[in-house]
Chain A
């Protein structure tokens, strides 16, 4: 069955430190890939997306992600974390038999130490 795995439930980093959030997917072909961020009590905001082409994609708020086909991964990175980045992060891919529906990972909660 198709799946998206975010192996880290929680990650804590110090403000100013670098960040990497992991995402692995199972998919029959090269997928479209998304990262969303959700601040407490808010909806999901699209951070970035990969459709094709350059495997390193830039997003909003200084985030980037790299698609690695050989590892079936789409990890999210930020070189220097700000306190306002504390939130829940979801990786998502479209459902193979219904491309306008998304499968979400279980999410990673990011905590930022001052």
Chain B
């Protein structure tokens, strides 16, 4: 089945220690998104790639970076995680048409 895969599902990192979350897709979609979701809130878009074009949301902290080396993979790098960065991180893909998006299972990030 075509799908969006996120690894790891759970990640524990120390305060200030860089961490990378990964996402891969077999849907061959042009657009890949990274969202941050905190408890009992809607997902918050951090940035997205349309093909190789990177689009950062205005309020995304500089601490968050992303890489998309090819169509299938996208990475979220948190350079110096703070306690406030503990959250669920969701990757999604889409064709770029009509906003339809398909989500991965998420990575739960804990910062100690």
Contact = CB atoms under 8 A, between A and B. Distances in A.
Contacts of A94: 98-99
B61 to A, nearest CB: 19
A87 B104 CA distance: 17
B100 A90 contact: no
A49 B103 contact: no
A99 B98 contact: yes
A70 interface: no
Q: Which of B40, B42, B50 has the most CB of A within 10 A?
A: B42
Given A45-B103, A94-B98, 10 more contacts: A43-B92, A46-B100, A46-B101, A51-B98, A90-B42, A99-B98, A100-B94, A100-B95, A101-B99, A104-B42
**Lowest 10 A-B CB distances belong to which pairs?**
A94-B99, A43-B103, A104-B42, A44-B103, A32-B98, A100-B96, A43-B105, A43-B106, A102-B99, A43-B104
Interface of B: 4, 6, 31, 40-43, 45, 48, 50, 88, 90, 92, 94-106, 108
Interface of A: 32, 34, 36, 41-46, 49, 51, 88, 90, 92-95, 99-102, 104-107, 109
